[in-house]
Amino acid sequence: MINDFFKKFLNKEAIIDHYGLMTNFDFTEEINKISTQKSLSLLENKVLIKCFGEDAENFLNTQFTNDVKSMENNSVMLSGYCNPKGRIISIFYIFQLDKEFYLYTTLDTAEPLLKKLNMYKMMSKVEFEIQDDILIGVSAKQEHVFFNDKKLDNNEATKSGESIIFKIGNSQVIVLAKAKDLCDIVNIENSNILGYKSFEFLDIQSIIPFINKSQIESYTPQMISLDILNGVSFSKGCYPGQEIVARTHYLGEAKKILCKIRFSSKKTISIDDKLTSVEDNKNAGELLNIVKINKDTYNSLAVLRKDMLSKNLIINDASVEIMEQVKKSA
């Protein structure tokens, strides 16, 4: 069964990018499938990092923007890692299982994150390992189909043998498993096998602000609304960049905010294209994540200047629709 699973994926028309295999760019088909049909995505652009050792909890709490010590076992929490100037190096979800911590983040930011953590751990008894098993994702709307009517609570993590299953909010379920175990964990029969871009669509729909390599150290947590998304604690102790993050919180206001946007263009739009205002051609913000959902239409998360939100915005001559601004979650 597992060989047939990968054969099904590999036999599809695919291209190679800097992450690895991606399925054919029939965006409308893939996004429709991930949203409405029994589909799973191979998350080649994400990694799961295990953090373990007797000092793991104390050390991680001195490094991350959120309060690791306040986490309950099996709960999933959004957090980030900053440089000393309060600029984000990585955004991730963290959870604890059996006294071991796991970080779910992008392949782009895993290496710089681990480099910093290993540099600062000094005499702390903590180790880090990137997990090399298969990482797949399914829409929470199809969760009952894949797991035989079993459902995780929102932001819950659990183990099934050597495999790990965790849920982000109410939108995504991620599984880490060895190839030989995957079919025992997930009911993959008659599933659509999709590339990672289909799951990035769910990231955008759920406003999950992962960053890529070109955006490392570009934003403070508040600029990408990590505080509004409950990814920052203002009551815990120090961590790299904490003074700057706290000063913005207590004495000022971030001039940028995370928004979900949509635009249509016959031109190719890249993550490096800038948003500008029609009225004065001033810079209005940057794209954070982007997915093409059909031939000409893109969905994206964008970091926008608050003073530009009421203006008419364009990107590469395409009109921009602001679909949603980040709001404080419960």
- pLDDT tens for 4-21 read 555 555 555 444 454 444
Residue 18: how many CB atoms within 10 A of its CB? Answer: 8
Specify the CATH number for 255-325; select among 3.40.50.720, 3.20.20.140, 3.40.720.10, 2.40.30.160: 2.40.30.160
Mean pLDDT of the chain: 89
Reported residue count of the chain is 330
Q: For 111, which DSSP code? A: H
How far is 58 from 262, CA to CA, in rounded Å?
A: 42
Distance (Å, rounded) from C-alpha 275 to C-alpha 141?
A: 33
Q: What is the pLDDT of residues 230-253, one digit of tens each?
A: 999 999 989 999 999 999 888 878
Residues of CATH 2.40.30.160 domain(s) within the chain? 255-325
Q: Is 38 exposed, middle or buried (0-12, 13-18, 19+ CB in 10 A)?
A: middle
Q: How far apart are CA 291 and CA 195, in angstroms?
A: 12
Rounded to an integer, the average pLDDT of 177-199 is 84
Across 283-295, average pLDDT: 92
Outline where DSSP puts E strands in the chain: 14-16, 21-23, 39-42, 46-52, 76-82, 88-97, 100-106, 127-130, 134-139, 157-160, 163-168, 172-177, 192-194, 256-264, 274-277, 283-292, 297-305, 313-315, 318-325
State pTM to two decimals: 0.91
Q: How would CATH label the architecture of 1-208? A: 2-Layer Sandwich (3.30)
Question: Using CA atoms, how far apart are residues 135 and 66, in angstroms rounded to an integer?
Answer: 25
pLDDT beyond 50 at 1:
no
**111 residue type, one letter:** E
pLDDT of 228 strictly over 90: yes
Q: Which pLDDT score, from 0 to 100, does residue 208 have?
A: 92
Per-residue model confidence as pLDDT tens digits over 300-325: 999 999 999 999 999 999 999 999 99
pLDDT for the residue numbered 193:
83
Those residues whose C-beta lies under 8 Å from the C-beta of residue 270, and which sit 6 or more positions away, are 290
Taking residues 255-269, report their average pLDDT. 94
Looking at residue 15, its pLDDT comes to: 47
At residue 185, the pLDDT reads 82
- Portions of the chain given CATH number 3.30.1360.120: 1-208
